[in-house]
Amino acid sequence: MTIKPGKYRHSKKGNEYRVHFVAKDSETLADVVVYEALYDNDKSKYWVRPVAEFEGMVEIDGKHVRRFEKVE
């Protein structure tokens, strides 16, 4: 999966996020996804997550699904 800017839905909670771009971690040079919560979140509006984790699979109700699915 190539991460492109746009709207994504988190598979566990159903919350939506807007991916802005992929950046580099300044210490490790690992690729990270920079994304924004599209709902009220009292912890932060902007987040980063390693690309491998963003693209990863999670188990929900015994099924393996992508952690984030593009919705637009």
- Domain borders along the chain are 6-70
The C-alpha atoms of residue 42 and residue 28 are separated, in whole angstroms, by 28
Query: What CATH class does 6-70 carry?
Result: mainly beta
pLDDT of residue 1: 64
Strand-by-strand arrangement of the 6-10 sheet: 46-50, 31-37, 16-24, 6-10, 68-70
Sequential pLDDT tens for the chain (72 residues): 689 999 999 999 899 999 999 999 999 999 999 999 999 999 999 999 999 999 999 999 999 999 999 997
Q: What's the maximum distance between 2 C-alpha atoms anywhere in the chain?
A: 37
pTM of the model: 0.89
